[in-house]
Amino acid sequence: MSAITLHKISKDFALPNGGRLRVLDRISFEIAQGTFHSILGPSGCGKSTILNLIAGLDQHTSGRIDIDGNPRIGFVFQQPRLLNWRTVRENVELPLESSSMSATERRALALKYLRLVGLAGFEEYYPLKLSGGMQQRAAIARALAIEPDILLMDEPFSGLDEWTARKMREELIRIWQQTGKTIVFVTHSIGEAVFLSQQILIVSPKPATVFKNVRIDLPYPRDYSDVALFEIETGLTRDFLTMNFE
């Protein structure tokens, strides 16, 4: 069953001179429930705009977006966006404070997801005392604390060194498998998309169109040294270069 379907979505932005800039041009794709789906494309092509439209943070110009049911949607941004004057636990509790939960319930839920992301023992630390990777773990825990059906992730590991990013990708796969969430992950890294995803939507430079939709039929857990992963990445790199320079 499809969790998210985009039908011929276009998005224009108004320019100061009164003109219009088309960022997305008749984008169509489906994302099945419980799957790990990446959106891959060059920087500035409109990948984040697609996430914002799915999340309801922006409105499309034309087309239709269908989201099954009335799901909760969590969002993990490129930067952790933690409040430095609140502890890690208090940051994770933040989106729950407008709910009808008691303080005890909020605390229990925050601790549950901090354990899930590997931050047990760091609950009362302040963000500036944590590494970049640990801060991003806290941001993921905060997004999970609302217990979303769909988790949107906008290049969450792009600011990390490669060693930390590799560990975070492995952790994210573990979290996805344990929770069964539908994940939509934006990246401009071909290797990252191939390692993480079951399905990859490749979009062109703006105005973005669907260039290719690729299924990655490899089992989990995946190994960075797997020749099959390397071959897929090499093939997509070749396609990517053709798309950019044709």
Instruction: Indicate the SS3 state at residue 189.
Output: coil
Give the mean pLDDT of the chain: 94
Number of domains in the chain: 2
- Domain membership flag for residue 211: yes
pLDDT of residue 232: 96
Domain membership of residue 195 (yes or no) is yes
9 touches 63 (CB < 8 A): yes
Helices 132-145 & 162-179 angle (0-180, nearest 10): 20
Say if residue 96 is in the same domain as residue 107: yes
pLDDT tens digits, one per residue of 95-108: 999 989 999 999 99
Residue 45 sits in which domain range? 2-71+150-245
Q: Is residue 21 part of a domain?
A: yes
Long-range contacts formed by 18-26: CB under 8 A, 24+ apart: 22/206, 22/207, 23/49, 23/206, 23/207, 23/208, 24/49, 24/50, 24/60, 24/206, 24/207, 24/208, 25/207, 25/208, 25/209, 26/63, 26/209
**Segment 72-128, tens digit of pLDDT:** 999 999 999 999 999 999 999 999 999 899 999 999 999 999 999 999 999 999 999
Last residue of a domain, which of 130, 148, 166?
148
**Residue 139 sits in the same domain as residue 154:** no
Per-residue pLDDT tens digits for 174-201: 999 999 999 999 999 999 999 999 999 9
Q: Is the confidence at residue 245, as pLDDT, over 90?
A: no
| pLDDT at residue 165 greater than cutoff 90 | yes
pLDDT band, very low/low/confident/very high, at 43 (cuts 50, 70, 90): confident
Tell me: pLDDT of 44 over 90.
no
Q: What is the pLDDT of residues 6-40, one digit of tens each?
A: 999 999 999 999 889 999 999 999 999 999 999 99
Asked if residue 79 belongs to a domain, the reply is no
- Which one has a higher pLDDT value, 188 or 244? 188
pLDDT at 246 over 50: no
pTM of the model: 0.94
